[in-house]
Amino acid sequence: MAALYWEAFGRKLGPALDPPDKARAFLAAHLRHDRGVVALVGGEVAGVAGYRLGGHGLTGGGAGDVLSSYGILRGLPRLALLALMERRPAAGELVMDGIAVAPEHRGRGIGARLLREIAGVAADHSCRRVRLDVIDTNPRARALYERHGFTAVRTEKTPYLRDLMGFGAVTTMHRPVAPADSPHHPEAR
């Protein structure tokens, strides 16, 4: 899971967690399996979608973990970069912590299935909506989200991040959660 997550988000997370081998190890050591849904194909991880709920997200690790892994001098600037990416859920909201599908499995509906599962988790936790952020350099992901009921609510220009992290704007999207999104609802999918 950590390797797949890194493949999808390494460009964005790289300045905070590089070098790649150390970053993948850090992610693997701090994954919270209770904050993600996984798609398996033939017993292999084909996709993962993380979420933040109840103060925890798929990718864990606090300030102490970063400082322990990278040292104080290298860790402090990394913490500043990671703080830029921190997203906390509002009341009644589940925040997606990222979605990744292995390249060989893209275009097979796995991303759509993961989004439905995330909506089900949100419904089961009585959330009113799912929130996510999508960067301007990922129009394919934005189109997927729009096809699955997400609407853009605001776009924040981030030109100071273009050279450092490879994107210049972040769009926040919301999707309402209905009781029927729960796999336990009588009208469930």
The chain-wide mean pLDDT, for the chain, equals: 89
pLDDT, position 180: 87
Tokens of residue 10, six digits? 């390494």
**Other Cβ atoms within 10 Å of 121 Cβ, number:** 21
Pairing of strands 44-52, 93-101: antiparallel
pLDDT at 16 over 60: yes
Cis bond before residue 19 (omega within 30° of 0): yes
pLDDT, position 114: 96
pLDDT, position 113: 95
| Contacts of 179 by beta carbon, 8 Å cutoff, 6+ apart | 123, 185
pLDDT, position 83: 82
pLDDT at 188 over 70: no
In order of 72, 147, 154, the CA distances from 112 in angstroms are: 41, 9, 23
Tell me the whole-structure pTM to 2 decimals. 0.86
pLDDT at 37 over 90: yes
**Displacement of CA 89 from its chain's centroid (Å):** 13
pLDDT, position 116: 94
Are residues 94 and 126 in contact, defined by beta-carbon separation less than 8 angstroms? no
Sign of CA dihedral 167, 79, 103, 121: negative
Q: What is the pLDDT of residues 101-118, one digit of tens each?
A: 999 999 999 999 999 999
Q: In degrees to the nearest 10, what's the CA dihedral of 70, 74, 75, 79?
A: -140
pLDDT at 189 over 60: no
Tokens of residue 180, six digits? 């029927």
pLDDT, position 145: 95
pLDDT at 124 over 90: yes
Q: What is the pLDDT of residues 48-77, one digit of tens each?
A: 999 998 888 998 888 999 999 999 999 898
Q: What is the average per-residue pLDDT within 160-176?
A: 82
| Contacts of 86 by beta carbon, 8 Å cutoff, 6+ apart | none
pLDDT, position 159: 74
Angle, CA 30 vertex, CA 139 and CA 82 arms, to 5°:
55
